[in-house]
Amino acid sequence: AAYPNPFNPETQVRYTMPAAGDVVFTIVNTNGQIVRRHAESITQAGAFHWLWNGRDTAGNAVASGVYFWQISARTVDGKQYFRNQKVTLMK
């Protein structure tokens, strides 16, 4: 889940991994355009978080509005997990 929501200037996406694996975070605007993508490898099971600072991949501040974050994860044993949520940036 993302907290806070609505947010300004940043929101924290919390998630749990049941095992080690790879995680990809994607932020998409209401037009379906990818605003930001972030990937990381998790070395063990547990609770984690990723902080989105309201900036796109190039580091530019995005406009106020509704965005959707998506998590795509694959554990080392091949299991896949997906999750998404709507977040609102209010400047």
CATH number where 83 lies: 2.60.40.4070
pLDDT tens digits, 44-77: 999 999 999 999 999 999 999 999 999 999 999 9
Q: What is the pLDDT at residue 37?
A: 98
pLDDT at 15 over 90: yes
**Cα(67)–Cα(11) distance, rounded to whole angstroms?**
12
- Containing structural domain, residue 70: 2-89
CB 71 within 8 A of CB 25: yes
pLDDT tens digits, 21-48: 999 999 999 999 999 999 999 999 999 9
Taking the CA atoms of 67, 39, 50 and 63 in sequence, report the sign of the dihedral they define.
Answer: negative
pLDDT at 1 over 90: no
pTM for the structure as a whole: 0.91
Q: Please give the structure tokens belonging to residue 2.
A: 């993302």
Closest CA to 12 of 64, 49, 48, 47: 49
**Cα(86)–Cα(84) distance, rounded to whole angstroms?**
7
Number of separate domains in the chain: 1
Q: Please give the structure tokens belonging to residue 88.
A: 């609102």
DSSP secondary structure letter of residue 30: T
